[in-house]
Amino acid sequence: MIQKAKKEKIAVNKKRRDPEGTRRRIMEASIKDFSKLGFGGARVDKIAAAAKTNERMLYYYYGSKQGLFLAVLEEVFLRYNEAEKELHLDESKPVESMRILASFMWDYYYHHPEFIRLLNSENLHEAKHIKQSDALGNFILPFIQAIEKILVSGAKLGVFRQNIDSVRFYLTISALGYYILSNRFTLSAVTGKELMSKDEYDIMKAMHLDVLISYLTYNIDANSADIPAPPKNLPNNVSEIKKVKTPLAKTKETVAAKPAKASTAKAAKSSAAVKTAKTKTK
């Protein structure tokens, strides 16, 4: 009986001291609260209560609210990368593979709105938390590498243009899906389209895929796979843009100058008339 009681007590203590379970509950509660309220709005005491633990344990595992938020960002990126590993990309079929990869990214955004909300919150803080991560360089590296392989394969097969930067192309893919889903409420309101509906999402995804593939295959038939150079004589920075005068500005200057010339001419005629009158009087 004594041995049995000891075993039961040990089992209860292990359950109470389940560190992995506690960390997991804290993480899930933190993802929920930070994604809903942002870094500034989320409260540590509320997170601890939702995780069925106390603040002391939360600080024990993560050190601070900032440390907890960073751990949350690292966790959602880890889940993102783990999901990408399940993709089966065939480099011998670059068009199909690029469609699969882009679709995956947008579908992940669509089905995980907490991911977008957390990134939006971190952007408000100018990435000050995520910059402190030791894993920073690995957050998007798997996707960059996958894109690079597909781009190289496509160029070798004569299917894609050459010299496409994999990082910039990743940003393009991400932007096409991220922008709409990040601004879905305001865009739905001003356009009258239910952008979160499955039908509307599928329509936009098909359009975005066509845009991407059209860019990758642009000018291939013309035997000019290199990316065209940007137009010449364009302003390079804001200061140069300000110096450029539009036709409208020139027109306004011309119109403004004409009355001044007219006024000068009238003044000259008037002065001449006065001088003539004085001469006649003498």
Which helix (H) or strand (E) segment holds residue 25: the answer is helix 19-41
Average pLDDT, rounded, for the chain: 78
C-alpha 26/C-alpha 42 separation (Å) is: 13
- pLDDT digits 0-9 by tens, 100-136: 999 999 999 999 999 999 988 888 888 889 888 887 7
Q: What is the pLDDT of residue 64?
A: 92
Q: 207 or 235, which is more confident?
A: 207
Q: Is the pLDDT of residue 224 over 90?
A: no
Helix-then-strand count for the chain, H and E: 13, 0
- Angle, nearest 10°, between helix axes 65-84 and 113-124? 140
pTM above 0.85, yes or no: no
- pLDDT digits 0-9 by tens, 151-179: 999 999 999 999 999 999 999 999 998 89
